Chains A and B, each alone.
Chain A
Amino acid sequence: MSDSLSVAWADAWIRGAQAVLAEHRMELIDLDRAIGDGDHGENMDRGFKAVVAKLDEGGIADVQGVLKIVASTLMSKVGGAAGPLYGTAFLRAAKAVEGDVDANGVADLIAGALDGIVSRGKATTGEKTMVDAWTPALEAARAAAASGATAAEALRAAATAAAEGAEATIPLQATKGRASYLGERSIGHKDPGATSTAYILNAAADAAEAL
């Protein structure tokens, strides 16, 4: 296993994310119906299918190129909040990496994504949003990179932390987005955006381990 992740990894990541989001479409719809408008599963499924159609056109030279395709496609094809949020996340992630991605690059990529989401959605941790998955993912990736982990190990650490972060949204009361209108009734449900984040990062780790 090479320590640096190239365009082949990025391509496999996004295709894997599309497959897992299609597989979990109903679960994300149900999570979003509980505390939102119910469109998250459908939007993520449509969005990533459109992204893969773009990837199929080929000609993408590097990791940054893949991330930019994801950003522009999600921005224009996803109608819900996830479009601008994930679109901005992937755009900032693209700007945060250059060439192949090592463990520090993984952390930089995740930092870019988190920065994009925070600046677009103006959310912070503990508000029951995707920030609650991306933030622990970044901390885990940084810690892994600092302790000499490979890029794949850093991604696995990030994916595990994101999944735990998503689970940890269950007892939280939403204070951002439409779920906040529910007040205390948002407690007891897992946040759909944090859940899709965990699936996407898990696909990134799977793709790196499969190389």
Chain B
Amino acid sequence: MSYPTPATSVKLVLLGEAAVGKSSLVLRFVSNDFQENKEPTIGAAFLTQKCTIGERTIKYEIWDTAGQERFASLAPMYYRNAQAAIVVYDITKPASFIKARHWVKELHEQAAKDITIALVGNKYDLVQDDDEGQGEREGVRKVSVEEGQNLAAEEGLLFYETSAKTSYNVNDVFIGIGNKIPEAASLASSPEQNNNEGRIDLSTNASSNGNRNLCSC
């Protein structure tokens, strides 16, 4: 395999109320580009997916909440060095939208100031008309597009409505985030670039240092 440029790593965290489809959204994004529909292995530290945008290849390291958000017990580690976040709500559940505001606030407090945040109203498939028309089913949607847009505008967020089920707009979210992340920022905090600054990457280090040192005593 060859890549146009070395992939830059971007840590992306997911936030949102339980059952709004955070994991489904990521699974949709991660599995789409895979050759086969491989079930992600349980226990993966985080899911990774490469995303090529023009000349750049971004390698997303996607951190799921692993349920620790249920009782507001996310650790500082979760937010640390996150360059991007997706705050998800369910467009059929107003409470989840209220919760989304809470998570945006939390991100402003806990995460880096220059973090790129996307607000995502998920489950668009539920409001879509069955006969694939442009219209929406009456009364299912509980959070209007405008509400989402307004919050996004107020807080400086990207905004999308998606369906993890039909994959509507899912890739656009990640491409949108990738476009908004400054190239320099992603380079600076990419683990691959940092080896020479005293950081030890336990997964790759031995390949660069091991050779020389194995034979010495």
Chains A and B are bound partners? no
**B interface, CB within 8 angstroms of A:** none
Give chain A's interface residues, CB within 8 Å of chain B.
none
